[in-house]
Chains A and B, each alone.
Chain A
Amino acid sequence: MLSYILRRTGLALVITVLAVSLLFVIIHMIPGDPVSTMLGPKASPELRAALEERMGLNEPLLIQIGLFFANMLRGDLGIDVFSNRQVTDIVLGQVPYTLTLILTSIGWSAIIGIALGCYSAANRNSFGDRLTGVLSVSMIAVPAFVVSLYSLLFFAVTLKWFPAIGAGEPGDFGDQLWHLVLPSLAIGLSWVGYIARLVRASMLEIMGEGHVRTARAFGLPERWITYRYALRLAILPTVTVIGVGMGFLLSAAVFTEIVFSRPGLGKLVIDSITTRNYPVVMGSVLFSTLIFVASTTLADIINALLDPRLRSAR
Chain B
Amino acid sequence: MNKPAKNNSEIVEIFRHLIRDRLGLLGLIIVMLIIGSALFAPLIAPYDPVALNIPDRVQGPSFVHLLGTDQLGRDTFSRVIYGGRVALQVALPTIAGALFLGLVLGMIAGYGPKWLDNLILLFFDTVRSFPTVMFALAVVALVGPSLNTVIFVIMATSIPTYGRVVRTMTLSIKTSEFIMAERSLGASTFRIMSVHILPNVLGPLAVLAAMDIPTVVGLEAGLSFLGMGVKPPTPSWGSLLNDGYSLIRNTPWLIVAGGIPLILITLGFTFLGEALRDVVDPKLRGRGGAK
Contact = CB atoms under 8 A, between A and B. Distances in A.
A23 B290 CA distance: 27
A293 B263 CA distance: 30
Contact of A284 (B134, B263, B266, B286): B134
B66 interface: no
A269 B131 CA distance: 13
A194 B289 contact: yes
A25 to B, nearest CB: 11
Interface stretch (A30-38, A43-51, A211-219): A30-38
Contacts of B144: 32
Interface in A247-276: 247-248, 250-251, 254-255, 258-259, 265-266, 269-270, 272-273, 276
Interface residues of B, number: 50
Contact of B218 (A18, A30, A143, A269): A143
Nearest to B291: A194
A292 B142 contact: no
Contact of A157 (B126, B130, B138, B249): B249
A265 B138 CA distance: 13
B136 to A, nearest CB: 9
Interface stretch (A70-78, A147-155, A304-312): A147-155
B129 A149 contact: no
Interface in A122-143: 137-138, 140-143
B291 A241 contact: yes
B252 interface: yes
Given A143-B221, A194-B289, A197-B289, A153 B252 contact: yes
Interface stretch (B41-49, B102-110, B188-196, B240-248): B240-248
B132 interface: yes
A285 B138 contact: yes
Interface residues of A, number: 67
Given A150-B255, A194-B289, A30 B222 contact: no
A149 B245 contact: yes
8 contacts: A18-B126, A27-B138, A143-B218, A143-B222, A247-B130, A254-B133, A269-B134, A293-B129
Given A37-B141, A150-B255, 18 more contacts: A15-B126, A15-B129, A27-B142, A30-B143, A141-B263, A142-B266, A146-B263, A149-B259, A153-B256, A193-B289, A194-B291, A246-B131, A248-B291, A250-B133, A265-B134, A270-B226, A284-B134, A293-B129
